[in-house]
């Protein structure tokens, strides 16, 4: 059973970390939905992607923009690639067994964390 209060707390944690250091969906919400709420890897990833549809990050973006830290030209080009990449990536992910997708997800997080820990 998914208790709405716990989901709101998860959203607050992920939103706070997203605004603070630019993480949230993949690193906080996906594992929480899998391990705390019992969703499959595909359900967790799909649900997290659904969070991106409304402008949930608009207040955080506004704060960064007010301080001169947003380059919308760069963002526009990334959005174009993201749209195309997310279509093909989601098609691939939904065709994989959940255990394989979980391993790919975990390895990706591990590699990124090692790179960040051991390089300047």
pLDDT tens for each residue of the chain, 120 residues long: 568 889 888 888 888 777 766 676 678 888 889 899 999 989 988 888 888 777 677 888 888 899 999 888 988 888 898 889 888 989 999 999 999 999 998 898 899 899 989 987
Token pair of 105, please?
């997800």
Q: Would you state the pLDDT for residue 65?
A: 92
Half-sphere exposure of 38 (CA within 13 A, CB side): 3
Q: What is the pLDDT of residue 112?
A: 86
Question: 112-116: long-range contacts (C-beta < 8 A, 24 or more apart)?
Answer: none
């Amino acid at each position: 059973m998914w208790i709405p209060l716990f989901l709101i707390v998860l959203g607050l944690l992920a939103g706070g970390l997203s605004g603070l250091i630019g993480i949230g969906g993949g690193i906080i919400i996906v594992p929480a939905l899998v391990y705390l709420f019992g969703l499959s890897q595909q359900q967790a990833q799909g649900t997290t992607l659904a969070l991106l549809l409304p402008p949930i990050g608009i207040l955080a973006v506004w704060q960064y923009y007010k301080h001169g830290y947003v380059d919308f030209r760069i963002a526009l080009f990334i959005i174009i690639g993201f749209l195309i990449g997310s279509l093909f990536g989601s098609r691939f992910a939904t065709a994989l067994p959940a255990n394989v997708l979980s391993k790919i997800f975990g390895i990706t997080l591990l590699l990124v964390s090692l790179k960040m820990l051991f390089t300047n």
